[in-house]
A = this chain, B = another copy of it.
Amino acid sequence: MRQTVALHHASRLVNHGPTVLVTTEHDGRRNVMAAAWSMPVEFTPPRIAVVVDKKTFTSELLQASGRFALNLPVPALADLTYRVGSESGRDLDDGTDKFARHGIATFTGPALGLPLVEGCCAWLELRRIAEPHSEQAYDTVFGEVVSAQADDRVFVQGHWSFRDDNAAWHTLHHFGGGVFGVPSRVVQGHLLAR
């Protein structure tokens, strides 16, 4: 079940390097694309950097609206994730958008009203922090998280808990070519005595 995540825990949602679906909306137009390249840059305030190619429709909507969302897909969404990372939502020949084309159900983000993808395991809404040089030179967009949610079957009391009994809600990590690793194997590091 979807639960609110405290903002000071939001960076933990992407700490382990998941591939995300970036959703955007501006003036009645909306889009979704996959992005393998994102990372937190600060816990408090929660800030995240994500690489969005300037040439994409997502970049156009993000720049126009100053907001974007990150949705964390699960194994059942591997096909969809690969697909929306392989095509542009700009000027689809049937006049629709990628949500309609692929039957992607959404719900409305609580802070910014962005379209969030049903069936993911976590969702963040962000306001763009204007950093035109980083955007221009590295396609790197910085954003501040203003809402965070996660499925409480897999993110519990501020921590991911990946277990065999919730394996359907684990995250995807893109190796390339539509092949994703899923970190269902968990190891606990211990602080060694000196």
Task: Give the B-binding residues of A (Cβ under 8 A).
Answer: 12, 15-19, 36-42, 47, 49, 51, 75, 78-83, 86, 101-102, 131, 133-134, 137-140, 142, 159-160, 162, 167, 170, 172-192, 194
Contacts and interface: CB of A to CB of B under 8 A. Distances in A.
Copies held by the complex: 2
Nearest to A35: B39
A74 to B, nearest CB: 10
A75 B37 contact: no
B16 A190 contact: no
15 contacts: A12-B175, A15-B37, A15-B174, A16-B19, A17-B17, A37-B41, A47-B138, A140-B140, A159-B176, A178-B190, A179-B186, A181-B183, A182-B187, A183-B183, A184-B184
Given A181-B183, A186-B180, A174 B16 contact: yes
B180 A182 contact: no
Contacts of A15: 36-37, 174-176
Given A41-B138, A160-B175, A175-B159, A16 B83 contact: no
A192 B37 contact: no
B191 A86 contact: yes
A177 B190 CA distance: 9
A184 B175 CA distance: 12
Nearest to A189: B82
A175 B15 CA distance: 6
Contacts of A81: 189
A51 B80 contact: no
Contacts of A170: 181, 185
Given A138-B42, A182-B185, A79 B176 contact: no
User: Which of A38, A41, A170 has the most chain B CB atoms inside 10 A of its CB?
Assistant: A41
